[in-house]
């Protein structure tokens, strides 16, 4: 059973995170094509940035080719240029390229003065990351002294982005006790030479001195750093410090440092970087080249005004379930509030044929918006021909003199259409971006493929109006290339079937980062409700526009809405009424980025028993917001909803603690078909804080170099006085997380095929004679429920513990009662035997077992030093007087001889005398 359950875990991990990838990059004959580098609209115009990007990528391509043993290079790259930059004859209009699909973003730093390049990476080892973030100063070469050559650094970040490897250093654990009984700098490989020195700066001047010990950890103090030799011969590793001139390779199995507590070791099961890369689909689908590649080809694409055509289904089935009216409500919401000013918009209706209802008109005021609203459909009849609707939209573009490439088609349909596949190739070749909204249960896969092949969004809404899915879907269709300060953000989305009460009451928070164009939308199914809305001062707001025909009421707050808590009370006039409320707003001022929430799932298609993962990141600009309460509502095809609290605790599905990414496994499937995801984030004083720590997955800051035995130091990297800065107000946001399709879900109740999640935050400390452990509790099913038991084992060899866990010494956990998932677990035990004569430290790992005897994956491996490791010689410091000896008292079957050799640092060696009764028993 144990082997079987571990096999399940392996298969599940293989399946995770497949298919939910916004990047358009593809590998073609060893070359990466369709790479997108986007310059953020907040970056001041400087065409030198474009030249420097070209130079950086060209150098990176050659370095990547050699680093991957002549396998990979960069073939073609598109550079997205903001609309607010001056136009040029060199610039073309983008097609499918957008900020959403950007692989590299050139944008202001997350915090002023902090220009560290990094990769937004929050998935598992071996899985693609989100994007690379470079600042303008870095791209312009102003940070080369601190981070090294930009081309080499791009390859370091590309490895994060494309292959899901991690850094081979660890700023939280920069030193460790090696099996050599020495303190070593955390690095890979150990062939990298250098000095361990402390750099202390004050008043603009810095001095270096020998490192001192930390009295608690017995390792070096926090000011101690590893300064590499400027001249080296070691070739690896790029994921440690690619800025070393001799480094041209990734660590391979034969030179990989498995002892070091690097992030890569912790996340990738102690495999070398090259082993992870070699297991990638890129590697499997390529062979080394004989000739070096040509330099990359660059396309310069400048963002321009949005061109969109609504293609709306008016077939007979749209007359059922109040679909036509609901579509009109959502389309009005889109045209009034979501569609950006200066955009061009047209409209097509289709059933068995299609009709142009509005040619393209530019949105400059409410006049044009109202003109489009008047063309919404009033009746439904006939069959369904999606291709006729798409082709007619193409004609709308051409009638205004526009090519189809780069234009948006918003397609809504509720029915199956077996002929939709007939125009799939035509749609793909057009260059248009098709966003597909499926209403109801029936739809043709060919329509979904249109969204997939064009880089568009797939959004789904059931006939359960109270879940507000259709309005949420249209709300998610803001332009991908609009500046975030111009986008409409959703603050509230809520609905209910009012049976036991006629009231829908709640509050919505408007924080200082939003407030412009604040819009309240109320819908009903039978009769207009009484609407009571009060601002933060308690003033009643009454001037809603009532649209009886469309069963909706709306209101736009003039100017900037007042910051604070707004209260709404909706009173239904009839029984079993369905009421919904949606609130949106834009950034209050262009100089301050608003707080946003982005949501996604790990894969678009899945089959039982593979789990889903729901992700939501909460940001202000590029700065993560931590400490928020984030919940996901998952709605099945039949309208059943499940609520999931997402966590940022670094356990379970969450890769890094406090990085502003909240995640959770989802396994509560109710049926086959589509599931849609909506996320809500709420924060406030002392509960949501803005992280100012250095991001993970980045190239190492160069502290300085050792040249001819002397340290030539760089200025210390800018640090903040606190790890976090408070967000001094409440906020709320909602966002669509897209959808996924499940298959092979058996009849309820579901069989238990989900093991506990892997423990990833196990920590161990020596506390007197005992070893104290802490970790986050896993659940019966991944991170939900409670496990049955923990199996804790120890070894004196990290590799042996990992590879032969079941044969390692087991700790007695009889009195360890597991807690609920995501609780903090603590456990202390007293070691009773050491088998080796010169054991330096003990390694500890945990497996969890659920009630069905399914085992988790092996936890990260924690370690405890049994003896003080040897430090570097300190010739100029006199030995400390007196003797301070700290030992662990160990009880062994037989006898223990404790030999203490007292020098400037006490070294204790344990020797065990064999018992006549045989070897020692397990813990």
> What pLDDT was estimated at residue 719?
65
Our measurement of the distance from residue 765's CA atom to the centroid of its chain's CA atoms, rounded to an integer in Å, reads 31
- Give me the mean pLDDT over the 485-493 stretch: 95
> What pLDDT was estimated at residue 726?
65
List the beta strands (DSSP E) in 602-750: 605-607, 612-620, 623-626, 629-636, 641-646, 661-666, 673-683, 689-691, 704-707, 710-713, 724-726, 731-743
> What pLDDT was estimated at residue 663?
96
Helix and strand numbers (H, E) in the chain are 16, 51
Residue 901 above 60 pLDDT? no
pLDDT cut 70: percent of the chain above it: 88
Angle, helices 150-163/48-67, rounded to nearest 10 degrees? 70
> What pLDDT was estimated at residue 838?
52
737: its two tokens:
């997380």
> What is the homologous superfamily of the domain 593-688+727-751 according to CATH?
Immunoglobulins (2.60.40.10)
- Give residue limits of the domains in the chain: 16-304+692-719, 306-469, 483-592, 593-688+727-751, 763-865
> What pLDDT was estimated at residue 693?
66
- Give me the mean pLDDT over the 456-468 stretch: 90
Dump pLDDT digits (tens) for 35-91.
999 999 999 999 999 999 999 999 999 999 999 999 999 999 999 999 999 999 999
E strand or H helix that includes residue 119: strand 118-120
pLDDT cut 90: percent of the chain above it: 72
> What pLDDT was estimated at residue 98?
93
> What pLDDT was estimated at residue 873?
66
List the one residue out of 502, 439, 510 whose CA is nearest residue 470. Answer: 439
Cα–Cα dist 521/152, whole Å: 51
**483-592 and 763-865 share one CATH topology?**
no
Higher pLDDT, 895 or 242: 242
Cα–Cα dist 524/571, whole Å: 11
List the one residue out of 597, 756, 721, 679 whose CA is nearest residue 12. Answer: 756
Confidence class of residue 891 from pLDDT cuts 50, 70 and 90?
A: very low
313: its two tokens:
């289904």
116, 130, 146, 157: which one is catalytic? Answer: 157
CATH code linked to domain 306-469: 3.40.50.410
Burial label, 638 (beta-carbon count in 10 A; 0-12, 13-18, 19+)? middle
- CB-based contacts of 385: which residues, under 8 Å, 6+ apart? 350, 351, 352, 353, 354, 417, 419
CATH code linked to domain 483-592: 2.60.120.380
Higher pLDDT, 557 or 416: 557
Residue 146 above 90 pLDDT? yes
Dump pLDDT digits (tens) for 107-137.
999 877 789 999 999 888 999 999 999 999 9
- Residue pair 520/344 in contact (Cβ under 8 Å)? The answer is no
Residue 739 above 70 pLDDT? yes
Catalytic annotation present for 722 = no
Report the CATH fold assignment for 763-865: Immunoglobulin-like (2.60.40)
> What pLDDT was estimated at residue 11?
29
């Amino acid at each position: 059973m144990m082997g079987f359950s571990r096999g399940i875990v392996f298969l599940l991990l293989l399946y995770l995170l497949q298919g939910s990838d916004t990047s358009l990059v593809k590998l073609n004959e060893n070359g990466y094509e369709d790479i997108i580098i986007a310059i953020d609209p907040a970056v001041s115009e400087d065409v030198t940035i474009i030249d420097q990007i070209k130079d950086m990528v060209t150098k990176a391509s050659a370095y990547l080719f050699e680093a991957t043993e002549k396998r990979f290079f960069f073939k073609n790259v598109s550079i997205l240029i903001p609309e607010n930059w001056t136009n040029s004859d060199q610039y073309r209009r983008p097609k499918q390229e957008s900020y959403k699909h950007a692989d590299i973003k050139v944008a202001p730093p997350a915090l002023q003065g902090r220009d560290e390049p990094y990769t937004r990476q929050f998935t598992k080892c071996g899985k693609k990351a989100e994007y690379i973030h470079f600042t303008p100063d870095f791209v312009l070469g102003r940070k080369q002294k601190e981070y090294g050559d930009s081309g080499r650094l791009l390859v370091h970040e590309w490895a994060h982005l494309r292959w899901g490897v991690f850094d081979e250093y660890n700023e939280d654990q920069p030193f460790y006790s090696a099996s050599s009984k020495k303190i070593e700098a955390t690095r890979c490989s150990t062939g990298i030479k250098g000095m361990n020195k402390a750099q202390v700066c004050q008043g603009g001047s810095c001095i270096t001195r020998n490192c001192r010990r930390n009295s608690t950890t017995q390792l070096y103090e926090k000011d101690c750093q590893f300064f590499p030799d400027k001249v080296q011969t070691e070739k690896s590793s790029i994921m440690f410090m690619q800025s070393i001139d001799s480094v041209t390779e990734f660590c391979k199995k034969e030179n990989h440092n498995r002892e070091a507590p690097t992030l890569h070791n912790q996340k990738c099961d102690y495999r070398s970087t090259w082993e992870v890369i070699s297991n990638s689909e890129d590697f499997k689908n390529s062979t080394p080249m004989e000739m070096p590649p040509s330099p990359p080809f660059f396309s310069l694409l400048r963002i321009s005004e949005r061109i969109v055509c609504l293609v709306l289904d008016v077939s007979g089935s749209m007359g059922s379930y109040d679909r036509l009216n609901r579509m009109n409500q959502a389309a009005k919401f889109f045209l009034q509030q979501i569609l950006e000013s200066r955009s061009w918009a047209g409209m097509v209706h289709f059933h068995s044929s299609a009709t142009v209802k509005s040619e393209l008109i530019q949105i400059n005021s409410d006049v044009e918006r109202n003109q489009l609203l008047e063309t919404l459909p009033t009746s439904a009849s006939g069959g369904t021909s999606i291709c006729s609707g798409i082709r007619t939209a193409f004609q709308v573009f051409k009638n205004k003199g526009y090519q189809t490439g780069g234009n948006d088609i918003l397609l809504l349909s509720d029915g199956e259409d077996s002929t939709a596949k007939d125009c799939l190739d035509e749609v793909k070749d057009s260059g248009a971006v098709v966003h597909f909204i499926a209403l109801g249960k029936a739809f043709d896969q060919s329509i979904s493929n249109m969204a997939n092949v064009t880089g568009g969004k797939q959004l789904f809404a059931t006939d359960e109006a109270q879940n507000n899915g259709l309005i949420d879907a249209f709300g998610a269709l803001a332009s991908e290339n609009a500046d975030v300060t111009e986008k409409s953000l959703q603050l509230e989305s809520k609905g209910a079937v009012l049976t036991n009460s006629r009231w829908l009451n709640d509050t919505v928070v408007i924080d200082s980062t939003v407030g412009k164009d604040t819009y309240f939308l109320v819908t009903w199914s039978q009769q207009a409700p009484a609407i009571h809305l009060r601002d933060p001062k308690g003033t009643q707001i009454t001037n809603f526009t009532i649209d009886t025909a469309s069963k909706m009421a709306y209101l736009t707050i003039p100017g900037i809405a007042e910051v604070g808590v707004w209260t709404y009370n909706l009173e239904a006039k009839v029984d079993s009424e369905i009421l919904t409320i949606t609130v949106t707003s834009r950034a209050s001022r262009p100089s301050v980025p608003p707080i946003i929430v982005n949501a996604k799932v790990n894969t678009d298609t899945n089959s039982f028993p593979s789990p889903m993962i729901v992700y939501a990141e909460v940001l202000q600009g590029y700065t993560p917001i931590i400490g928020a309460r984030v919940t996901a509502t998952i709605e099945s095809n039949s309208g059943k909803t499940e609520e999931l609290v997402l966590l940022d605790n670094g356990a379970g599905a969450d890769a890094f603690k406090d990085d502003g990414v909240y995640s959770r496994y989802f396994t509560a499937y109710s049926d086959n078909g589509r599931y849609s995801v909506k996320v809500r984030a709420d924060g406030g004083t002392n509960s949501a804080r803005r992280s100012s720590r250095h991001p993970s997955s980045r190239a190492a800051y160069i502290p300085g170099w050792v040249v001819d035995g002397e340290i030539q130091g760089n200025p210390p990297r800018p640090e903040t006085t606190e790890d976090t800065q408070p967000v001094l107000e409440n906020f709320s946001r909602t966002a669509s997380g897209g959808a996924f399709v499940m298959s092979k879900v058996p009849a309820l109740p579901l069989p238990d095929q989900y093991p506990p999640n892997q423990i990833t935050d196990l920590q161990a400390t020596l506390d007197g004679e005992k070893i104290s452990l802490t970790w986050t509790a896993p659940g019966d099913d991944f991170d939900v429920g409670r496990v049955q038991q923990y199996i804790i084992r120890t070894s004196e060899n990290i590799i042996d513990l990992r590879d032969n866990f079941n044969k390692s010494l087991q700790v007695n956990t009889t009195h360890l009662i597991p807690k609920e998932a995501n609780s903090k677990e603590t456990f202390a035990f007293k070691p009773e035997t050491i088998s080796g004569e010169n054991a330096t430290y003990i390694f500890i790992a945990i497996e969890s077992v659920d009630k069905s005897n399914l085992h988790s994956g092996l936890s990260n491996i924690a370690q405890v030093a049994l003896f003080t490791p040897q430090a570097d010689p300190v010739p100029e410091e006199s030995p400390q007087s007196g003797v301070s000896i700290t030992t662990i008292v160990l009880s062994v079957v037989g006898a223990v001889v404790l030999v203490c050799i007292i020098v400037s640092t006490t070294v204790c060696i344990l020797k065990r005398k064999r018992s006549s009764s045989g070897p020692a028993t397990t813990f």
